[in-house]
Structure 1
Amino acid sequence: MDLDARFDERPVFVTGADGFVGSHLTERLVDAGANVHVFVRATSSGELRNVRHLRDDITVHRGDLRDKHSVSQALSALDEYDESIVFHLAAQAHVGESWERPYETVDTNVTGTLNLLQSIVDLDLDIAKFDTAGTSEEYGNVDSQVADKHDYHDDGRVMLNERSPVNPKSIYATSKLAADFLTMNFYDAYGLPGVTTRMFNNYGPRQNPRYITGTIVTQALERDIVELGNLTPKRDMCYVSDGVRGHMHVALDGNPGEEYVYGYGENISMREWTETILSVGTESGYWDDPEIVQSEDRYRPGDSDVEELLVGYEKLNEETGWEPEVSWREGVRRTIEWYANNKPKWYGRVDWR
């Protein structure tokens, strides 16, 4: 049975459903015929940014992860179902903003996760799987004291997997690691079938333009220079549809109490990534070779930057058959196309104007 068919009529609950990865996951689950409940942050306007086109196909619950009452109220909708799956993707997910809004980051990512887990226990819900979305940022840089605990590629690069030591270098990464551990705590204590998924750097349509790919694309669309920070770090870039499939595979076939990491399986420096994006955009006629400019104002504070991230996704591949399907250049082409055709959705959100 194929992946989508296994979600037909399955009750699912998605936090962060109106965000970047969450909206793509919600869209895929709707297409698969799942019974989709989503939890989105309550606002005075009640506006849905990314899943408005799915409004007739989903049940929307509004609240705030930091408010346990609203979390419990929303989750109580699952009381009538058996074997529900919870995808927990809601978070303050921007590394830079975690330094600007540290208390909100911790409150949302840590207390918010605790509110979900405790509410499931309090309501005694029948949950088949609780998938907490972690981040590759949890690995940070290699600590020399545990360097021998890492796995290494033949060329000397660190290969990060489920056994690798963690060393979070930002408030965001620390908060996500705490959420991972809380998920495991509730599995150990209550048998709540939690899994954690560390996706390596996602990119694609609808992503907040303050992330690196959107920053590059939106500047290139609007002016002759692309102003960026540190371009030496290397990242393992994974297109969003591949990331969504990873979540779905782990939710169905992952073993409770375990971690799953995945990404493209290759990394690239941010300078090379910028050059790749600009090359694809020039070939497609979106711009004409913008100049790359570095600005110290855009560097992460102190020594908090992570130098290199590269994933080994063998465990997920062996257990579920997952592997990336979208090449970097094809993913970049799709991403540029979305930004070029949806300027009103991102123009007011950029941080370079």
Structure 2
Amino acid sequence: MVAGGAGFVGSALVRELLALGCRVIVYDNFLHGSPSHVDNLGPGAVVVEGDARDRSHLYDVLRRECVQFVFNCVGDTFVPDAYDHPARFFDNNTAAAVSVLLASRDAMVKAVLYVSSTEVYGLAGNDRPIDESLPCCPVNTYAVSKVAADRACHTIHIEHGLPVVLARIFNCYGPRETHPYIVPELISQLHRGPRLRLGNVAASRDFTYVEDTARALVRLMECGPVDATPVNVGSGRAVTIAELAQHVGGLYGYERVDIELDSGRLRRRDIDCFVCDPTRLRELTGWLPRVDLYTGLRRTVDWYESNGRMWSFERRGVTIRG
């Protein structure tokens, strides 16, 4: 099962599992995920509408479909939304994670993989590549809700014996993005011309193409630690938002992109740099990214241009401010 399988990372993970010949149950309430992301997947996929917080219904589906492994991609992930909806973030990130863990325990699944976030490291990773030994030092509500879910994974593993893999993913990008993150923001603005309105363009982030992230998650489920010790998933290379903007502008044929600061896009507290140390992931799984940044951006632009120049979040009424 991929809980949250109609979302951004979840739908890429579903496709990766199907390509490997797995039968996949897509479980999603479509709060952020889109039914269009899981249309026409073939006979190997079963789509079930349901809320991960509804433990009874989730348990029934796990038992009925004889699910052996659960990938939990459920959650609210867009940091600016957490400023206005903090309770919702704890509900969808922390409470939902506990519900998935307990339903999986009761249904006797073999293992759960929880998709956590680099945001849990916060200020601790601001000046160095982030390895798993760094403490959690979250600086926003989203990150705090993910830290709480991480600890729930650990304690439920200890107290109930449930095998849990904990993957902390760095920035992903690619087709089917479900929130106005920086890459869809850049593409949506730049397809209209070589001018941008952005927030902190000096920030550096580690970007991994979503298909590569999905491959890493599958490998971790196959051979990662099942005691809820974290494993970072990222490329190990960082790029500034300003550099990223010029890359996307180049794909649209612009020699130069002009960037205007929009103070309304600044986070209330930001991190200068997030870059992954993927040593542990590579030692455990042998994983390496296959898609370089330029190729991944090209594929993402091509997908956008061939899908009506509209992301799923724009269809929900969330607009790009550019």
TM-score, normalising length: structure 2: 0.92
Match of 1:26 among 11, 14, 24: 14
Q: Which deviates the most, 166-175 or 49-58?
A: 49-58
| Aligned-pair CA distance for 1:351 | 2.6
1:132 correspondence with 2:114: yes
Secondary structure, aligned partner of 2:36 = coil
Q: Secondary structure at the match of 1:336?
A: helix
CA distance in 1, matches of 2:271, 2:123: 6
Q: 2:305 aligns with which of 325, 335, 340?
A: 340
Q: Deviations over 1:191-220 (max 9, x none)?
A: 100011011100011113510000000111
Q: Is the Cα contact below 8 Å between 1:40 and 1:62 reproduced in 2?
A: yes
- The answer on 1:48 being equivalent to 2:48 is no
Deviation at 1:306, TM superposition (A): 1.5
Q: Tell me the alpha carbon deviations over residues 92-111 of structure 1, each in whole angstroms, 9 at most, x when there is no partner.
A: 11111111221111101000
Q: Is the 8 A contact 2:115 2:166 kept in 1?
A: yes
Corresponding residue number in structure 2 for 1:15: 3
Q: What do residues 261-302 of structure 1 show as CA deviations (whole Å, max 9, x unaligned)?
A: 0211011111111122212332xxxx674422210011112x
1: CA distance, partners of 2:308 / 2:115: 28
SS in 2 for 1:50: helix
Conservation of the 8 A alpha-carbon contact between 1:209 and 1:218: no
Which structure's relative contact order is higher, taking Cα pairs within 8 Å and 6+ residues apart? 2
RMSD (Å) for aligned C-alpha atoms: 2.0
Question: Counterparts of 1:211 and 1:296 in 2: how far apart (Å)?
Answer: 16
Preserved contact between residue 170 and residue 276 of structure 2 (Cα < 8 Å) = yes
Counterparts of 1:139-288 in structure 2, within 5 Å, are 139-142=121-124, 157-208=127-178, 210-257=180-227, 258-282=229-253
Mapped partners of 2:309, 2:301: distance in 1: 15
Aligned twin of 2:295: 330
Retained in 2: the 8 A contact 1:233–1:307? yes
In structure 2, C-alpha distance between the alignment counterparts of 1:312 and 1:47, rounded to whole Å:
32
**In structure 2, distance between residues paired with 1:85 and 1:35:** 11
Q: Report the CA distance between 1:118 and its aligned residue.
A: 1.4
Whole-angstrom distance in 2 between the partners of 1:161 and 1:183: 19
Greater displacement, 58-67 / 159-168: 58-67
- The amino acid that maps onto 1:253 is C
Partner of 1:64: 51
Q: Could you tell me how far apart the structure 1 residues matched to 2:54 and 2:165 are?
A: 23
Q: How many Å separate the matches in 1 of 2:61 and 2:131?
A: 34
Q: Aligned partners of 2:34, 2:143: CA distance in 1, in Å? A: 29
Is structure 2 residue 72 aligned with structure 1 residue 101?
Answer: no
Contact 1:137/1:306, CA 8 A, preserved across alignment: no
**Equivalent position to 1:37, from 25, 29, 33:** 25
CA distance in 2: counterparts of 1:266 and 1:344, whole angstroms: 29
More off after superposition, 109-118 vs 273-282: 273-282
User: Which amino acid in structure 2 is aligned with residue 300 of structure 1?
Assistant: R
1:74 pairs with one of 44, 57, 61 = 61
User: One-letter code of the match for 2:233?
Assistant: Y
Task: Identify the residue that residue 4 of structure 1 maps to in structure 2.
Answer: none
Give yes or no for contact 1:226–1:293 (8 Å, CA) kept in 2.
yes
Segments of 5+ residues of structure 2 without an aligned counterpart are none
Greater CA deviation, 290-299 or 84-93? 290-299
Q: Do the aligned residues in 1 keep the contact of 2:78 with 2:179 (CA within 8 Å)? A: no
Kindly report structure 1 stretches of 4+ aligned residues shifted beyond 4 Å: 287-290
Does the CA contact (< 8 Å) of 1:17 and 1:26 recur in 2?
Answer: yes
Q: 1:55 deviation in Å? A: 5.5
Instruction: Tell me the SS of whatever aligns to 1:202.
Output: strand
Give the C-alpha shift of residue 41 in structure 1: 0.3
Q: Secondary structure at the match of 1:104?
A: helix
Q: Hey, what's the Cα distance between the residues in 1 that align with 2:61 and 2:169?
A: 26
In the alignment, what sits opposite 2:321?
Answer: 352
Work out whether residues 212 and 289 of structure 2, in 8 Å CA contact, stay in contact via their aligned partners in 1: yes
